[in-house]
Structure 1
């Protein structure tokens, strides 16, 4: 049964396969400003090496600390992976606070499900499991955004109590309660 876990080297092989799936759908190009895009450009060539992957996992786990090094404009965050045994299915990132950019476009919570695991309910279950974690971080309600044309993501957010506030550019902005 899938569960949220902290990033772990135990899903190394499956994680690399998932990132290859994302790459095949165009993620990681120079114009991809998503977390997966940025991480593919930084680590993509080295993820096959267990030592590089372990370093990547440690870096993600360290992001919960205020003092952790991160790019300018980034905030502390909690990364959780949705796994079923040794199978990596997706990830969710909870940003501990909002910057003006995150308030407009990114929100508190972002998630990705690997292409081969989509349309199986993972995104909704992952978000449902992550909302209490956000509450534990003092976030209530949580801002969650999605592209206007992403009907599946809209359904996931709404199913988890998200209420549409507005649209900014191509992003829809929802507030979801985290207290359950």
Structure 2
């Protein structure tokens, strides 16, 4: 059974398997990973997890709640819910997620997004924004299955980005 779990240093080995599967230089949406994070060493990974947990409880609306998508102690992806008025929410959206390549096509993103929408409701949010590249058809379908409607398309040098809203 697939579940959303809070980041935990106990999942270091499982998290690294997912991380290495993405490959070097690839962006892993939903994990909150920074280029300065040392996730390979146990000490560095614990610091990474502590940062994520601290960010969730940061005062005001500037934090982010991270959850890992897991099944049978295997980390399959990550999803993040940025607080209502977090920095860059107008660009990045309130929710970002990523599924490791070997786990894609199983409906995990839809299940995870549904779970994070419940968390957003619990936190009193009335609407969430999501953004994805227009050519990311699986993500577009996931967002639409969860009630997303296209607000606008923004043309960038990296490709067209579609912005969706989901009313809660």
What whole-Å deviation, never above 9, does each CA across 1:121-152 have from its counterpart, x for those lacking one? 11111101110101112222110111111010
> Residue 128 in 1 paired to residue 114 in 2?
yes
Stretches of structure 1 lacking an aligned partner (at least 5 in a row): 69-73
Residues 38, 89 of structure 1: CA spacing in aligned structure 2 closer, same or farther, 3 A cutoff? closer
- SS at 1:97's partner residue? coil
| Alpha-carbon distance in structure 1 between the residues aligned to 2:83 and 2:41 | 30
Aligned length: 164
Q: CA RMSD in A?
A: 2.3
Q: Which of 65, 73, 82 matches 2:69?
A: 82
Q: Which has the higher strand share?
A: 2
| Alpha-carbon distance in structure 2 between the residues aligned to 1:126 and 1:97 | 19
- SS at 1:42's partner residue? coil
Name 2:133's counterpart in structure 1: 147
> Residue 27 in 1 paired to residue 23 in 2?
no
| Alpha-carbon distance in structure 1 between the residues aligned to 2:154 and 2:43 | 41
Residues 35, 109 of structure 1: CA spacing in aligned structure 2 closer, same or farther, 3 A cutoff? closer
| Alpha-carbon distance in structure 2 between the residues aligned to 1:80 and 1:130 | 9
Residues 91, 98 of structure 1: CA spacing in aligned structure 2 closer, same or farther, 3 A cutoff? same
Superposed structure 1 runs of 4+ greater than 6 Å apart? none
Shift of 1:97: 2.2
- SS at 2:102's partner residue? helix
Name 1:71's counterpart in structure 2: none
Contact persistence 1:10–1:86 (CA under 8 A): no
